[in-house]
Homo-oligomer: A and B are copies of this chain.
Amino acid sequence: MRLSNLADYAVVTMSAAARHCGGGRTSAAELAAETGLPVPTVQKLVSKLSAAGLLRSTRGSGGGLQLARPAAAISVADIVEAVEGPIALTACIEGTDCTVSHDCSVRPHWPVVNQALRGALAGIPLTQLALEKEPA
Using a CB–CB cutoff of 8 Å, the interface residues on chain A facing chain B are 1-5, 7-9, 11-12, 15, 34-37, 76, 80-81, 84-85, 87-92, 98-100, 102-106, 108-109, 112-113, 116-117, 120-121, 124, 128-134
Residues of B within 8 A of A8 (CB): 89-92, 98
Q: Which residue of B lies closest to A37 (CB)?
A: B100
How many angstroms between the C-alpha atoms of A119 and B35 in the bound complex? 31
How many angstroms between the C-alpha atoms of A93 and B84 in the bound complex? 20
Residues of B within 8 A of A89 (CB): 1-3, 8
Q: Which of A106, A109, A117 has the most CB of B within 10 A?
A: A106
Residues of B within 8 A of A3 (CB): 1, 89-90
Other-chain contact of A105, B76, B88, B113, B129 (Cβ < 8 Å): B129
User: Nearest Cβ distance between residue A80 and chain B, in whole angstroms?
Assistant: 5
Residues of B within 8 A of A1 (CB): 3-4, 7, 80-81, 84-85, 87-89
Cβ contact within 8 Å between A12 and B106: yes
Cβ contact within 8 Å between A134 and B109: yes
- Give the top 7 A-B pairs by smallest Cβ distance, nearest first: A116-B120, A108-B134, A36-B100, A106-B129, A1-B84, A36-B102, A1-B3
